Structure 1
Amino acid sequence: MSDKLQKIIEERGPIKKIGVLGMGYVGIPAAALFADVDKFEKVLGFQRNSASSGYKIDMINAGESPLKGEEPGLEDLLRKVTGSNKFECTPDFSRIAEMDAVTLAIQTPFENPTDLIPDFGALIEGIRNVGRYLTPGTLVVLESTITPGTTNGMAKEILEEESGLIAGEDFALAHAPERVMVGRLLRNIQEHDRIVGGIDNTSTERAIELYSPVLTKGKIIPMTSTAAEVTKTAENTFRDLQIAAANQLALYCESMGINFYDVRAGIDSLKGEGITRAILYPGAGVGGHCLTKDTYHLERGIEIAGKTPLDYPENADSIYVLARKVNDFMPNHMFKLTEDALASVGKSVKGSKIAMLGWAFINDSDDARNPPSEPLYDLLIEAGAEVRIHDPHVLDYPNVTIEKDLNAVVDGADVIAILTGHSDYFKLNPADIKTTMGKDKPVIIDGRNVVDPTKFIDSGFVYRGIGRGDVN
């Protein structure tokens, strides 16, 4: 612990003004919740006034959420905190100098996972902006999911270089990763336990002061910054591993001609003290910003934060990377199911009309970051199919046309492929859909266990579903 930093913080007093960099799925709800805390006086959301995202500034300041999809309570809270002048969005990064604490919630994708080099460009720009206007005693917190070793490495170095100050002596530095899902952002921030890891005890304690007032049910779990980084990347990696296990079991069940969901129910039935048999559900693939890349952050952490050589079976693949490959494979399996189903009615993918239902990676949301629908779409187009896409929530996506009229998308289609479990798709009526398709032997490929196979088969459909070896 630095006595110097502790003294500076004591002289500065309690956290009153907070800056949040990154007005997206994490930054907007976090900033609004900070602003709703009585002990905090002012929250500034920092947003570049760029051609692609500058529109957010006026929307937020008008109390409107630029996030699409259902986010219970968010717009009401935004109206409240902007109306009371406690929250404001600004493109003026020089105002970071006014802040007692600054958080960064900026995406950290991998452009090419094979080389384990993340695209930290946007995060580095954000860190440099903070460093340029950093004042003694300020707390800086990285909320972005990052490679283990980044907070006490790259981030610390950039902040010191830009500010001329020393982390742990002149300013506090910590990692407190976000743990949210779209559709429940406010609730997740308030109710999930908060991992807080400073580069030293003083930094950890200052970060605890920042996050504690926001929590309703969640508690603070303090640790080192590197442990916090590993916690975040590992929890997403483990979920990806669980999904991959379900996907692989579903492929086994298809091959053996049995129903995955019967097997899952049997596994899940064994309960009792000391027994854990949790098994997730298979599907058309894994999308989103987190699960598709956090495995690679964890893997790279060995290179960045490793203190001793890794002791691991020689020449053995990482089970985490293998899980990623299984989940990345699922759109290819959807293509194979489509190909096989069409072949059973004397058709090929080439020249067939495919209606893809769902572009978002998660149900009842507009979140279309890294959707598994995209690689399937590319495979179908490459094979010569005519593809139309329906999604009730996604407004647009680069280089594809997404339609809102379900009947128009399904009209004349040879195949319906369900990629997302949107509520609307559970209501599909097989007789009505068959009439709209206008085919004697229409095909339906269910990638999310949305429809009842028996009802569709009885209505004359050729059915294929992930894990449904009993009826495929």
Structure 2
Amino acid sequence: MNLFEKIINNEEKISLIGLGYVGMPIAVAFANKGIDVIGFDINKTKIEQYKEGIDPTKEVGNETIGKTSVEFTSDESKLSEAKFHIVSVPTPINTDKTPNLAPVEGATKTIGKHLTKGSIVVYESTVYPGVTEDICIPILEKESGLKCGVDFKVGYSPERINPGDKVHTLENIVKIVSGIDEESLETIAKVYEIVIDAGVHRAKSIKVAEAAKVVENSQRDINIAFMNELAIVFDKMGIDTNEVVEAMNTKWNSLGFYPGLVGGHCIGVDPYYFIYEAEKLGYHSQIILSGRKINDGMGAFVADAIIKELVLSGKKVKEANVVIMGITFKENTPDIRNSKVIDIITRLEEYGIKPAVVDPQADPAETKKEYGIELVNMDQITDADCAVLAVAHPEFINMTAEQFNKLFENTEDNQKIVVDVKSKLNKKALLAEGYQYWSL
């Protein structure tokens, strides 16, 4: 009986190492199919929340977490009970934009200490081509004393979960899988097919799978950078970018991208992994790096637009009450990692403005710890000079006119400014109400 058969017969277990926005939904998905799953994370607070039926990621919800059969633990010795290990830990970048592989290396050392013969280790964390085979395998061999290809196998299957997206979920996104050899590839493919309804794509090698991940996000990053560059130029021309995009999208081959802030733990990070490896090989990226520079500068561009609108309305900039609506890196998620809204706030602070930040989905304690920002409640604000829609949470874009007007209750009618970064508000209605309106 092979490993796949033992897993579906509950004779062997699967372990998930790293229970964040990606790892936890995968663990729950396997458990929902009757598989025995060990969910491991070094964050004891997070483990306790899961055990209590609390889903801080909001990816599967409290009810599902409360009912799941996943064995949540921070005890690494439990990993020795599993034969199929999935690594889903963050892969951030350092301050100099180089890859930070410490979480992956740390997780690999932990697994290596508890690795047993006949096991398979699959990495989902985003890395540049070569990391799995050149960095992770040697660590596993050193820590376990076992030989890869003989005593255990390794594969790579890049995560494609889109946080906050309830349409493109784990089950209906095609999964790329790869293995160190044909046998491991087939086992890994069959295991993932347990939960992936959309099917799997068998990559020709681990390096191909690793490259596919960084390239698919780099492609999206470049397309958004193009739209952001257009937005910068159209702003100088006095043309509404969204009206241009709306007209352009009437053509069948338009790609449908829009300008915006590009942060988070994938699109805002993955291109730097590709750039790093390319430069190691003597090639200096031109298109990808240029796109990153444009997107990394959009927070400052938006902040400067806010300052311009304040000046045009006759406000004293340092005394202006600016309200930032949203701190997460995108809508419908509490994830604040690598949020580019911070760049807007930092730039405003350079002008002496201390903006009020509102976000009903972000965790106040986490926001305070990560950015030193105290979140405020929307109903506390009545004297805004400028409201900035930075994140299109439903709580913001579904506000009634009365709720929105309350933000400016104590502000003179001819001095109310709205900066619509996401271009989700009703421009015509706001102008009719006497608001000064700007959008990206």
Give TM-score, length-normalised by structure 2. 0.91
User: Of 406, 409, 412, which aligns to 1:436?
Assistant: 409
Mapped to 1, the partners of 2:2 and 2:434 lie a distance apart of 74
User: Hey, what does 2:41 align to over in structure 1?
Assistant: 47
Deviations 1:146-199 (A, max 9, x none): 121101110011001111111112111011111011123796211111101112
Using CA pairs under 8 Å that are at least 6 residues apart, name the structure with larger relative contact order, 1 or 2. 1
Mapped to 1, the partners of 2:3 and 2:187 lie a distance apart of 13
Mapped to 2, the partners of 1:35 and 1:101 lie a distance apart of 14
- Contact 1:149 / 1:301 at 8 angstroms: preserved in 2? no
User: Hey, what does 2:64 align to over in structure 1?
Assistant: 77
Deviations 1:345-383 (A, max 9, x none): 223422211111111121122111111111111111221
Taking every aligned residue pair, what percent have the same amino acid on both sides?
28
- Contact 1:365 / 1:393 at 8 angstroms: preserved in 2? yes
Matches within 5 A, 1:16-165: 16-38=12-34, 40=35, 42-48=36-42, 53-68=43-58, 71=59, 73-82=60-69, 87-114=70-97, 116=98, 118-165=99-146
- Contact 1:242 / 1:280 at 8 angstroms: preserved in 2? yes
**Structure 2 CA distance for partners of 1:63 and 1:423, relative to 1, 3 Å:** closer
Mapped to 2, the partners of 1:338 and 1:193 lie a distance apart of 41
Mapped to 1, the partners of 2:167 and 2:156 lie a distance apart of 20
**Structure 2 CA distance for partners of 1:239 and 1:437, relative to 1, 3 Å:** farther
Give the unaligned 5+ runs of structure 1: 1-8, 311-315, 467-472
- Contact 1:29 / 1:185 at 8 angstroms: preserved in 2? no
- Contact 1:29 / 1:74 at 8 angstroms: preserved in 2? no
User: Of 425, 430, 434, which aligns to 1:451?
Assistant: 425
State the 1:215 CA deviation: 1.3
- Contact 2:427 / 2:437 at 8 angstroms: preserved in 1? yes
- Contact 2:57 / 2:333 at 8 angstroms: preserved in 1? no
State the 1:89 CA deviation: 0.8
Q: Return the letter of the residue paired with 2:6.
A: P
Q: Secondary structure at the match of 2:121?
A: strand
User: Hey, what does 1:198 align to over in structure 2?
Assistant: 179
- Contact 2:325 / 2:391 at 8 angstroms: preserved in 1? yes
Q: Which moved more, 1:229-238 or 1:94-103?
A: 94-103
- Contact 1:104 / 1:142 at 8 angstroms: preserved in 2? yes
Matches within 5 A, 1:344-383: 344-383=312-351
Matches within 5 A, 1:256-267: 256-267=237-248
Q: Secondary structure at the match of 1:223?
A: coil
**Structure 2 CA distance for partners of 1:12 and 1:448, relative to 1, 3 Å:** closer
Mapped to 1, the partners of 2:291 and 2:3 lie a distance apart of 50
User: Hey, what does 1:327 align to over in structure 2?
Assistant: 295
Q: Secondary structure at the match of 1:449?
A: coil
User: When the two structures are aligned, how many residues end up with a matched partner?
Assistant: 428
Structure 1 segments, 4+ long, off by >6 Å, are none
State the 1:34 CA deviation: 1.1
CA RMSD of aligned residues (A): 2.2
State the 1:104 CA deviation: 0.7
Q: Return the letter of the residue paired with 2:92.
A: P
Mapped to 2, the partners of 1:132 and 1:360 lie a distance apart of 36
Q: Return the letter of the residue paired with 2:321.
A: K
Q: Secondary structure at the match of 2:54?
A: coil
1:170 aligns with 2:151: yes
Mapped to 1, the partners of 2:61 and 2:165 lie a distance apart of 9
Mapped to 1, the partners of 2:166 and 2:204 lie a distance apart of 24
User: Hey, what does 2:439 align to over in structure 1?
Assistant: 465
State the 1:12 CA deviation: 9.5
Q: Secondary structure at the match of 1:111?
A: coil
1:302 aligns with 2:278: yes
Mapped to 2, the partners of 1:210 and 1:138 lie a distance apart of 13
User: Hey, what does 2:255 align to over in structure 1?
Assistant: 278
**Structure 2 CA distance for partners of 1:286 and 1:269, relative to 1, 3 Å:** same
Q: Secondary structure at the match of 2:267?
A: coil
Mapped to 2, the partners of 1:424 and 1:66 lie a distance apart of 18
Q: Return the letter of the residue paired with 2:30.
A: F
Q: Return the letter of the residue paired with 1:120.
A: L
State the 1:26 CA deviation: 0.9
Give TM-score, length-normalised by structure 1. 0.85
Give the unaligned 5+ runs of structure 2: none
User: Of 417, 427, 450, which aligns to 2:388?
Assistant: 417
State the 1:229 CA deviation: 0.6
Q: Secondary structure at the match of 1:180?
A: coil
Q: Return the letter of the residue paired with 1:33.
A: A
User: Of 249, 252, 255, which aligns to 2:230?
Assistant: 249
Mapped to 2, the partners of 1:414 and 1:335 lie a distance apart of 14
State the 1:433 CA deviation: 3.9
